[in-house]
Amino acid sequence: MVDSISGSNSMRVGGLASGIDTDSLVEQLMNAERQKLYKMQQEQTKLTWQQDSYREVNTSLKSFDDMLTNMKLSTTYNQKTTTSSSSAVTATADSSASNGSYSIEVTQVATAAINVSTGSVGGDDFNPDEPIGEQFTVSFTTYDQEGTEIKYDKTFTSSDSLNDILKDITNSNAGVRASYDAQSGKVVMEKKYTGDLNKDNAEIDFGTDNAFFSDFLKMGEESGGQNAKIKYNGVLDVETPKNSYTLGGVTFNFVEKTNGPVRVSVDNDVDAAYDKIKDFVDKYNEIIEEVNGRLDEKVYRDYPPLTDDQKKEMSEDEIKLWDEKAKSGMLKGDSVLQNGLFSMRNAWYSNVETGGEYTQLAQIGITTSKDYLENGKLVIDEKQLKDALRESPDGVYKLFSNSAEGESQGILQRLEKTVDSTMDNIYKKAGKSTYTNDQFTIGKRLDDVEKRIDDFQDYLTQTEDRYWRQFTAMETAISQMNQQSAYLASNFGG
């Protein structure tokens, strides 16, 4: 049998003279050689799996790090809740608001100016979506919430429809909604903002000579906007163009006129603050569980990564089960993760010299689980934490967040420092998706393995060629001997 080799000029002669199954023999010899290649490919796969495992941990750490930013805000611990004795007045309060009771009496709510056509526009058969048929210059003056004058001025062609014009007005910065009511055939123009913004004059001023509004739309007299009027705590009279007013960190919203004073109370929103702290602690516990799980994960040394040939002989379920064991323990005992966990625990447990009543987590009801299998997870005494938030939200805030250095540094700042350091160390080992391989340790090893695989594949090609040259030479020699033997036998026999 004669075979040609791709990329080679040599001829392969197998078994013609000797009767040996040269193809099978060379394949067996090459399979033995390829075992080294399989080892390198398995090493490459394991490095990729390890890189992925590191990056998964960093994704979790990044999510936790993002939560740290919000947890450093004082508003997280000092949120406010409000209650009102009447639905006519509602309120919201920011963290600067003082707890207490407020009296609000609304004698007038703010309204927006509105103007409506006095008659049907365009007659009985008018279609607001068809071209008007004549050119109009549409101009008017209005005012924003600060009383600043805004001018609208635009020329429309005869091909524009009424709805085209009204839509343009509505979408402009004039602060006016303009619409056509099909049932009455009238146009309605109303301010988007409440209040008397033009000091008792028209809020939508069409001027004295404006054919579009006076003749075509037949706009009538404006029902002017009015300001809201309130009495605060029975003493302060307030007039505002909006149906809301902010004072001392409390924003009062006016729904309707009241029958006498309405009582609004402001207090600490303990539940909201507690929920945010609990979510943060739960996220930390997830990190602890995930990282410890990876550190303690069993290594199955009898389950190396499968080769392509091995996968061909297995079902999908068998491959999945095998890979689960093969991928197990990629980060077992990893020093970077161990050091990161140790530093995070220290950040939680170390005292914080706040100058206040709370200097450690146990004082506000956050302690370490007594179950050693929890690996240092935190547990919360709900009542104790809520009591602390109710009595001294600022004290809880200073315990968690304090940008000072040394022993006065807050828990969050300490956590942020150690989380960032751990993530940086993981980046050095496993990189980011934006990194090139030469920027991190595993990437460099992957490049090295890739080069060794390429070199070894060249070696395999050369080795297979050598085997075939040797067997071809042997077959040639045997063939020549057979010819000589036949020649001698022929002569002696003759």
Return the higher-pLDDT residue of 204 and 7: 204
pLDDT of residue 146: 87
What is the Cα–Cα distance from 127 to 185, expressed in whole angstroms?
Answer: 10
Mapped onto helix, strand or coil, the DSSP state of residue 307 is coil
The residue-averaged pLDDT of 355-367 equals 91
* Strand pairing category for 136-143 and 149-156: antiparallel
- Cα–chain center distance at 453: 38
Tens digit of each residue's pLDDT (9 = 90 or more) over 120-178: 998 888 999 999 988 999 999 999 988 899 999 999 999 999 999 999 999 999 999 99
Residue 378: pLDDT above 90?
yes
pLDDT of residue 4: 37
The residue-averaged pLDDT of 418-432 equals 95
Mapped onto helix, strand or coil, the DSSP state of residue 423 is helix
User: Other C-beta atoms within 10 Å of 399: how many?
Assistant: 26
pLDDT of residue 468: 77
What is the Cα–Cα distance from 39 to 304, expressed in whole angstroms?
Answer: 9
- Cα–chain center distance at 301: 37
What is the Cα–Cα distance from 224 to 13, expressed in whole angstroms?
Answer: 106
What is the Cα–Cα distance from 132 to 88, expressed in whole angstroms?
Answer: 45
Residue 2: pLDDT above 60?
no
Mapped onto helix, strand or coil, the DSSP state of residue 188 is strand
Beta bridge mates, 93: 250
pLDDT of residue 386: 95
Tens digit of each residue's pLDDT (9 = 90 or more) over 22-41: 677 777 877 787 888 888 98
Residue 490: pLDDT above 80?
no
Give the DSSP letter of residue 72. Answer: T
Distances (CA, A) of 80 to 98, 193, 254, 268, 272: 9, 28, 19, 5, 9
| Range of weakest confidence among 13-27, 146-160, 221-235 | 13-27
* Strand pairing category for 186-191 and 114-116: antiparallel
| Site of tokens 């956050």 | 366
Tens digit of each residue's pLDDT (9 = 90 or more) over 381-410: 999 999 999 989 999 999 999 888 888 899
pLDDT of residue 19: 60
Distances (CA, A) of 190 to 41, 83, 443: 73, 33, 65
pLDDT of residue 483: 75
What is the Cα–Cα distance from 245 to 198, expressed in whole angstroms?
Answer: 20
